[in-house]
Structure 1
Amino acid sequence: MPESRYGRAHTALPVQAPDHATSDRRRRLAALLADIVPGARIIRVSQREPGRTWPSPHARAYDAQGSLVALNRARGLTAARWVMRTHPEANWSEAYDLDLATGVLRPAVEAYAIADGRR
């Protein structure tokens, strides 16, 4: 999965969550993940780990400036599984960005489009 042409993640713009109970659960997940990965602002989750041909939950973390935050395999796998279980409606053949400040999940492609000025 390519990051961006500068090697940094783009920040996702917030959108409204549809349900208060669901959005509360998602905000709690974001708070838990922020505790597990200190300094992270966005967690990018996908079903494909780079370098593997079979599906495997994978996560990368980025700070507020878009720089990569180091995750060990256990934390990355745990974060990816938690996000996937909290958002079962998402199409996990694509990558998604979870904003840890708001708990909003957005397709990673939207972050690229916003940063390139196409939106």
Structure 2
Amino acid sequence: MPALPRGTQYVEPSPSQQRLGAKLADMIPGAVAVRVSLAHPSRQWPHPYTVAVDGRGEQLMLSGNTTKVAARWVLRSWPEVDWTRPHSLDLATGQLAVTSGRGR
């Protein structure tokens, strides 16, 4: 099952961005994708936030530190992206795509 829906517009990853996907997959066992946004559920101001999902699309539990670190790595790897909207990173391909919803 692909982590990103077919027909989704995405940013073509560079080799370093593809490596980031592999590093995050090692850091978050079982994750196939991460959704990154600046809309932390318990904060009213912009704050880096990550939700990891497994192959069934179910959310994986992450520590607060892992949530923040993963989000910062992704945000810094794609500085040109409009981060006012949440994005999903496919960990297998390194493809970044806009996510519908608020990314929570």
Equivalent residue for 1:94, pick from 59, 79, 85: 85
> Partner of 1:31 in structure 2?
22
| Greater helix proportion | 1
Read off the aligned partner of 2:95 and give its amino acid letter.
Answer: V
- Normalised to the residue count of structure 2, the TM-score between the two structures is 0.86
Residue 50 of structure 2 aligns to a residue whose secondary structure is strand
Bigger radius of gyration:
1
Deviations, residues 17-49 of structure 1 (Å, cap 9, x unaligned): 2xxxx6101110000000000000010000110
Question: Percent of counterpart pairs with the same letter?
Answer: 39
> Partner of 1:60 in structure 2?
51
| Greater strand proportion | 2
> Partner of 1:85 in structure 2?
76
How far did 1:51 drift?
2.4
| Residues matched between the structures, number | 97
Following TM superposition, the consecutive aligned residue runs of length 4 or more in structure 1 with deviations greater than 3 angstroms are 13-16
Is contact 2:33-2:54 (8 Å) kept?
yes
Counting only pairs closer than 5 Å after superposition, residues 38-53 of structure 1 correspond to structure 2 as 38-53=29-44
> Partner of 2:3 in structure 1?
11
Distance (whole Å) between structure 1 residues aligned to residue 68 and residue 100 of structure 2: 22
Note the residue ranges of structure 1 that are not aligned, 5 or more in a row: 1-9, 111-119
Note the residue ranges of structure 2 that are not aligned, 5 or more in a row: none
